[in-house]
Amino acid sequence: MGKRLKQLRGKKVQQEIADKLGISRSRYSHYENEHVQPDIELLQKMADFHDVSVDYLLGRESAYEKLSNKNKSEVDFRLDTILNDLTLNQKDHLVNFIDTFQNKRN
């Protein structure tokens, strides 16, 4: 969860997020660094603040799954456009890259 909180925070400082959540910066830092886990109420507050699901914060759904249907359509369109512009050889390299990436994740 800490990694996702850091990604969602982006360029904002921890203090800014902590203030919005009504907690101290050090407490928020503990969540980002995974020293402690938030209670359910704070977890819901974090999800609402970042406009994501609790499942996303907990790592139970991907960034793609957290998108609205409209945004998924935009991502799918961009992927289709990119794939259509690739040569057969480039597509083959991409498939090999994805296979390697998935094997390293497992």
- CATH number, domain of 21, equals 1.10.260.40
DSSP secondary structure of the chain: -HHHHHHHHTTS-HHHHHHHHTS-HHHHHHHHTTSS---HHHHHHHHHHHT--HHHHTTSS-HHHHS-HHHHHHHHHHHHHHHHTS-HHHHHHHHHHHHHHHHHH-
The answer to whether residues 11 and 44 belong to one domain is yes
pLDDT given for residue 32 in this prediction: 95
Where in the sequence is the domain holding 94, given as residue range(s)? Answer: 69-105
Mean pLDDT by 10 residues, the chain (106 residues): 91 95 97 94 93 84 68 80 88 88 75
The answer to whether residues 56 and 88 belong to one domain is no
The answer to whether residues 47 and 84 belong to one domain is no
The answer to whether residues 47 and 85 belong to one domain is no
The answer to whether residues 73 and 100 belong to one domain is yes
pLDDT given for residue 15 in this prediction: 97
pLDDT given for residue 64 in this prediction: 63
pLDDT given for residue 66 in this prediction: 67
The answer to whether residues 13 and 57 belong to one domain is yes
The answer to whether residues 44 and 87 belong to one domain is no
The answer to whether residues 23 and 8 belong to one domain is yes
Domain count, the chain: 2
pLDDT given for residue 74 in this prediction: 80
Residue type, 48: D
Instruction: Kindly report the pTM of this predicted structure.
Output: 0.59
The answer to whether residues 7 and 39 belong to one domain is yes
pLDDT given for residue 77 in this prediction: 82
Q: Cα separation of 36 and 39, whole Å?
A: 10
The answer to whether residues 52 and 98 belong to one domain is no
pLDDT given for residue 106 in this prediction: 61
